Amino acid sequence: MAKRNALEVLLELIDTEMARALLDDLRDDERRTPQLYNAVSKFLDRHNFKLSSLMVEEGDLGELQAALDAFRDMELEDLNGVPH
Protein backbone atom coordinates (compact mmCIF):
# COMPACT_ATOMS: atom_id res chain seq x y z
CA MET A 1 0.00 0.00 0.00
CA ALA A 2 2.85 2.39 0.77
CA LYS A 3 4.30 1.93 -2.72
CA ARG A 4 0.93 2.68 -4.25
CA ASN A 5 0.60 5.88 -2.23
CA ALA A 6 4.14 6.91 -3.15
CA LEU A 7 3.36 6.29 -6.82
CA GLU A 8 0.15 8.32 -6.61
CA VAL A 9 2.01 11.19 -4.96
CA LEU A 10 4.74 11.05 -7.59
CA LEU A 11 2.21 11.10 -10.43
CA GLU A 12 0.37 14.00 -8.81
CA LEU A 13 3.63 15.95 -8.49
CA ILE A 14 4.49 15.30 -12.14
CA ASP A 15 1.01 16.37 -13.20
CA THR A 16 1.22 19.55 -11.11
CA GLU A 17 4.62 20.40 -12.58
CA MET A 18 3.26 19.81 -16.08
CA ALA A 19 0.38 22.20 -15.38
CA ARG A 20 2.81 24.85 -14.12
CA ALA A 21 4.98 24.48 -17.22
CA LEU A 22 1.93 24.82 -19.49
CA LEU A 23 0.88 27.98 -17.67
CA ASP A 24 4.38 29.42 -17.89
CA ASP A 25 4.45 28.73 -21.61
CA LEU A 26 1.02 30.30 -22.10
CA ARG A 27 2.32 33.50 -20.49
CA ASP A 28 5.29 33.68 -22.88
CA ASP A 29 4.42 35.11 -26.31
CA GLU A 30 7.34 33.29 -27.97
CA ARG A 31 6.34 29.88 -26.62
CA ARG A 32 2.63 30.32 -27.26
CA THR A 33 2.15 28.10 -30.32
CA PRO A 34 -0.61 25.92 -31.79
CA GLN A 35 1.25 22.91 -30.38
CA LEU A 36 1.06 24.42 -26.90
CA TYR A 37 -2.69 24.93 -27.21
CA ASN A 38 -2.98 21.32 -28.33
CA ALA A 39 -0.99 20.20 -25.27
CA VAL A 40 -3.20 22.29 -22.98
CA SER A 41 -6.31 20.81 -24.59
CA LYS A 42 -5.02 17.26 -24.07
CA PHE A 43 -4.10 18.07 -20.47
CA LEU A 44 -7.60 19.39 -19.78
CA ASP A 45 -9.21 16.42 -21.57
CA ARG A 46 -7.17 14.03 -19.45
CA HIS A 47 -8.70 15.67 -16.38
CA ASN A 48 -12.21 15.65 -17.89
CA PHE A 49 -12.29 19.44 -17.69
CA LYS A 50 -15.03 21.14 -19.67
CA LEU A 51 -15.20 24.93 -19.90
CA SER A 52 -18.96 24.65 -20.31
CA SER A 53 -19.17 23.37 -16.73
CA LEU A 54 -17.87 26.77 -15.61
CA MET A 55 -20.24 28.78 -17.79
CA VAL A 56 -23.05 30.47 -15.92
CA GLU A 57 -26.58 30.81 -17.16
CA GLU A 58 -27.61 34.40 -17.84
CA GLY A 59 -30.55 34.03 -15.44
CA ASP A 60 -28.15 33.04 -12.68
CA LEU A 61 -26.12 36.19 -13.29
CA GLY A 62 -29.26 38.28 -12.94
CA GLU A 63 -30.05 36.63 -9.63
CA LEU A 64 -26.49 37.19 -8.42
CA GLN A 65 -26.63 40.85 -9.43
CA ALA A 66 -29.93 41.30 -7.60
CA ALA A 67 -28.44 39.70 -4.48
CA LEU A 68 -25.39 41.96 -4.70
CA ASP A 69 -27.61 45.04 -5.07
CA ALA A 70 -29.69 43.96 -2.06
CA PHE A 71 -26.52 43.42 -0.04
CA ARG A 72 -25.27 46.89 -0.92
CA ASP A 73 -28.64 48.39 0.02
CA MET A 74 -28.21 47.04 3.55
CA GLU A 75 -25.67 49.82 4.22
CA LEU A 76 -23.55 47.64 6.46
CA GLU A 77 -20.62 49.03 8.40
CA ASP A 78 -17.15 47.54 8.30
CA LEU A 79 -15.19 46.67 11.45
CA ASN A 80 -14.14 50.31 11.84
CA GLY A 81 -17.74 51.55 11.76
CA VAL A 82 -17.46 52.97 8.25
CA PRO A 83 -20.67 52.48 6.26
CA HIS A 84 -20.41 50.90 2.80
pLDDT for the residue 15: 93
Q: What is the pLDDT of residue 47?
A: 87
Between CA 30 and CA 25 the distance in angstroms is: 8
Domain ranges of the chain: 2-73
- Kindly give the confidence (pLDDT) of every residue in the chain, 84 residues in length, as a single tens digit, with 9 standing for 90 and above: 566 788 889 999 999 999 999 999 999 999 999 999 999 999 999 988 876 666 666 666 677 777 777 877 777 666 666 665
* pLDDT value of residue 2: 63
pLDDT of residue 60: 65
